[in-house]
Amino acid sequence: MVAMTAAPESAEQLWHGGWYGPAQRHPSPNFGPRPAGIDISLIVLHSISLPPGVYSGHAVLDFFNNRLDTNAHPYFQALRETQVSAHFFIRRGGRIIQCVSGDDRAWHAGLSCWRGRENCNDYAIGIELEGLEGQTFAAPQYAALARLAADLTRRYPITAIAGHEHVAPGRKRDPGPGFDWARLKRQLSRHVDHRFDWP
């Protein structure tokens, strides 16, 4: 059972189906149904910026919506025909954007495994942080991520938080060494008294 240290809103007020009330909605067509009876128990953290190291702009959201102009930058050529998404995208300033309902299966982890359980997309919530693997992330992002992760535990039976690098080792490296896991743990503990499995 999760005991919130501060709960100004109920889960019913925060969530509308699988949509998070405080987030800006930017729906992506890149999703599908989760397997029947699946428990949504894992949060997978990613980092993304398009082109790499360039923040703000609309390229990431265009990418998640299959509208990225692949002629706009040489890096984008490698993304042609690629269809991906995440449930959430957190900007450098802390703004949370939701692209896929948490009840649905977003396309973020790819070939993956956590604690011997494969196909993380089936049972995970994918959160993209605007950033570059190996580089640091902004204070407002940690605050927003901690709040979002706590609120996710109020809707789903979340038991673990890991990085893409942990569920797809050798293939992916994000969010990378610049991500401060200890900081997230500290900030998350201010919102929720909940025991997570960490990398």
Half-sphere exposure of 28 (CA within 13 A, CB side): 30
Q: What's the pLDDT tens digit per position in 139-171?
A: 999 999 999 999 999 999 999 999 999 999 999
The reply to whether CATH 3.40.80.10 applies to domain 3-193 is yes
Catalytic residue positions, numbered? 128
Q: What's the pLDDT tens digit per position in 73-99?
A: 999 999 999 999 999 999 999 999 999
At residue 2, the pLDDT reads 35
pLDDT level of residue 6 (50, 70, 90 thresholds): very low
Alpha-carbon 187 to chain mean position = 17
User: Does pLDDT of 43 surpass 70?
Assistant: yes
Which sign does the torsion angle of CA 183, 149, 52, 119 carry?
positive
- The predicted model gives 48-59 an average pLDDT of 96
User: How many C-beta atoms lie closer than 10 Å to residue 111's C-beta?
Assistant: 12
